[in-house]
Amino acid sequence: MQLGNYFGALRNWVIGQHECDGFYGIADLHALTVTDTPNVVGQATLELAAMFFAVGLDPDVATAFVQSHVPEHTQLSWVMACNVSFGELTRMTQFKDKTAKREGEFTSGALFTYPTLMAADILLYDAEEVPVGDDQRQHLEITRDIAIRFNSRFGETFVIPRAITPKAGARVMDLQDPTSKMSKSAASDAGLVNMLDDPAVILKKFKRAVTDSESDVRFDRETKPGISNLLEIHAAATGRTPDEIAKGYTQYGPLKADTGDAVVELLRPIQARYAELMDDRGELVALLRKGSAKARSVASATLARVYEHIGLVPR
């Protein structure tokens, strides 16, 4: 996770948990489509979970859980597979893109059936709204198609979900290339602020941030992308506006230093909580189990309804 993920997504989830009945699943089973090494997915799951709780997802409010802890996901995914056509799955552009990228490598069958598990992820929770980026819109469409088809075959069972555009958080640009979004896949680490970077590293990255040859401090993304990015990050970290912050500076140096400080202060408690949870695996797993139990109580009722509507013999 990097600073862009936090301002663009995580922070909105933390706010959103009080506005709706949110389910935040860590899709470890989906990760298996491209995994061939033991323990990698489990470790990544724990790290992501620790970050969820460290940024403020509250286990008493939100339902944060691990997909593999809720067996109904794989159970419903089979039913989904039985209600989607081969042709529909073949049309998924993500599948075409991913297999093209993996040419010559092992391509799992699960990469092809992936949308059936994703449909289960969504429909199990009677989700009304699913915040998705553009790359996942087609998978949400196929989920709707499967749900509509199932309802017409077996009677009203699923809530038909709607894609919503996630609330726009601040857009964080690369500190070395402020016309590109900050991203894990950036060419160099110098423009990327990781959530777990040391304070000294963060300060150094801000100190070296690319600016421009003028010297005035104002918020203007078009002509001053570097300075505007610093102002936007500073604003997001302190709850003020970029224009307001710009008024306090006449030079780039102090703006860079103060923005670095603001980010360090913002991340300090998050990093501390993260370290605490990673040091206390028992506590972390207990929090996840609590979320998984809540998720399961909803998921198992949905699966029971599905089996009943299909008319399977009760256990």
Instruction: Note whether 129 binds ligand AMP by CB under 6 A.
Output: no
117 or 299: whose CB is closer to ligand AMP? 117
- C-beta separation of 174 from 181 below 8 A: yes
Q: Which stretch binds ligand AMP (CB under 6 A): 50-58, 105-113, 138-146, 175-183?
A: 175-183
Is residue 8 a contact point for ligand AMP (CB under 6 A)? yes
Answer for which of 162, 181, 247, 281 binds ligand AMP (CB under 6 A) is: 181
Minimum CB–partner distance for residue 174 and ligand AMP (Å): 8
* Measured distance CA(238)–CA(227) in Å, rounded: 16
* Cβ nearer to ligand AMP, comparing 189 with 280: 189
- Is residue 167 part of the annotated active site? The answer reads no
Minimum separation from the CB atom of position 67 to ligand AMP (A): 17
Q: What are phi and psi of 56, to 5 degrees?
A: 125, 10
Under 8 Å between Cβ of 112 and 95 = yes
Single out the catalytic residue among 98, 167, 204, 290: 98
Rule CB under 6 A: choose which of 92, 119, 182, 299 binds ligand AMP: 182
What does the alpha-carbon distance between residue 137 and residue 128 come to, in Å, rounded to a whole number? 15
Rounded to a whole number of angstroms, the minimum distance from the CB of residue 175 to ligand AMP is 11
Window contacting ligand AMP (CB under 6 A); options: 79-87, 96-104, 181-189, 261-269: 181-189
By CB under 6 A, residue 83 contacts ligand AMP: no
Q: Which residue has the tokens 């008024």?
A: 247
Question: Minimal distance in Å, beta carbon 169 to ligand AMP?
Answer: 6
How many residues sit close enough to ligand AMP to count as binding (CB under 6 A)? 12
Q: Give me the catalytic one of 96, 101, 167, 184.
A: 184
Write the interaction track for ligand AMP spanning residues 139-168; mark x where CB under 6 A is met and - where it is not. ---------------------------x--
Whether 219 and 25 have beta carbons less than 8 Å apart is answered as no
Candidates 238, 193, 220, 184; CA nearest to 229 is 220
Instruction: Dihedral sign for Cα 211, 215, 217, 223, please.
Output: negative
Closer to ligand AMP at the Cβ: 84 or 163?
163
For residue 200, the number of C-alpha atoms closer than 13 Å in the C-beta half-sphere is 0
Question: Is the distance from CB of 270 to CB of 50 less than 8 angstroms?
Answer: no
Query: Residue 101 catalytic?
Result: no
70: Cα within 13 Å, side-chain hemisphere: 37
Residue 5 in contact with ligand AMP, rule: CB under 6 A: yes
Q: What is the DSSP string of 143-182?
A: HHHHHHHHHHHH-S-S---EEEPPPP----B-SS-TTSB-
Active site residue 181: yes
Active-site positions?
98, 181, 184
Catalog residues that contact ligand AMP under the rule CB under 6 A.
Answer: 4-5, 7-9, 133, 166, 171-172, 181-183
